[in-house]
Structure 1
């Protein structure tokens, strides 16, 4: 079965352009369509995506306008892509994934290679993010700026927490351990860092 998933982040956007691009690439309308309208990729619960993932069966094809429609962060997108496209005998779901923007078709050798490259690049970026963060924390300790658990984080540390969460795919509880604060403080730091980013850029940038 050919299934499409569409998502727009704000109420004043429409799904028409995504739908048209998918139908043009497919040559016809998909057999089923799931949507999340006016729902940010950062929202934890997305009913359309959840229903879409539940409907998919082995050998079905999932069509999206962009891979960024599938997750809240690069880490989540890559994990979901790998889970969907990995063969069932290897613990995956055996789904064919096609994305218009990235010209991705996971049923082809080129498409599978592209997914592998994405995973490798993400792992490199995640490791670099961890190294930079740990190096910064170590320098702060040497300078005597870190001692015991703190009730709050500096703007720089909040940005580090957001990078570890979105880019490195770290769990908030692990970030809390790294930064020497509570998990609740980490969630607050992520929220504050996103708010600051939204003010600077006018909107939250979508992950690749």
Structure 2
């Protein structure tokens, strides 16, 4: 049962020393590290770290925001690890999913994230309905056809290629891909259903 650490700073000017000291004090070895913005999906060392974890292991981070790009991403990662029998421990927040209190915190996080998604979806649908009532269609013209959108979303979910590589492949911006992914999740479009049914 290994204790493995993961550290991340947002820019190359920042130092990882503080996080390293905290993770070592928790007995973490090895420690994987990325120097990248939390908003980017390109975190190669995190991918290596997650692959290295085995059932019974513990992943230690300095703070929870080092692990997830946002609350939903954090919950997705922690739940995926929990299904594999891997515990997550945060030094600064004193959260350990190996205990009942830590699991309760993450269940609350998940409930809040689901509530937020519901509010966003409700506002989005209300806005689209209001626009339709005024004779307008919401959104920009579609840059990719349905088949291309399915392929792009599948590649993003697969994570074997970076978002930058996918955007170059389809000759669209990264924001277009992220917006397409968000719309697919929020509105439960046929694109998303096509991916999930495979």
TM > 0.5 fold call: yes
Q: Which range is displaced more, 66-75 or 94-103?
A: 66-75
Q: Secondary structure at the match of 1:7?
A: strand
Asked if structure 2 preserves the Cα contact closer than 8 Å seen for 1:7 and 1:36, the reply is yes
Match of 1:115 among 79, 103, 106: 106
Distance of 1:4 and 1:189 partners within structure 2: 31
Structure 2 segments unaligned to the other structure (5+ residues): 143-171, 180-198
Report how many aligned residue pairs link the two structures.
149
> Is 1:188 matched up with 2:176?
yes
Asked if structure 2 preserves the Cα contact closer than 8 Å seen for 1:151 and 1:185, the reply is no
Aligned to 1:146: 137
> Is 1:31 matched up with 2:24?
no
Aligned to 1:101: 92
Deviations 1:137-190 (A, max 9, x none): 11122122327x7438xxxxxxxxxxxxxxxxxxxxxxxxxxxxxxx5883385
Calculate the TM-score normalised by the size of structure 2.
0.68
Q: Secondary structure at the match of 2:34?
A: strand
Calculate the TM-score normalised by the size of structure 1.
0.65
Aligned to 1:128: 119
Structure 1 segments unaligned to the other structure (5+ residues): 86-91, 153-183, 192-208
> Is 1:59 matched up with 2:60?
no
> Is 1:8 matched up with 2:9?
yes
> What is the root-mean-square deviation in Å for CA atoms of aligned residues?
2.3
Asked if structure 1 preserves the Cα contact closer than 8 Å seen for 2:71 and 2:109, the reply is no
Change (3 A) 1:31 1:119: same
Distance of 2:53 and 2:178 partners within structure 1: 32
Change (3 A) 1:31 1:189: closer
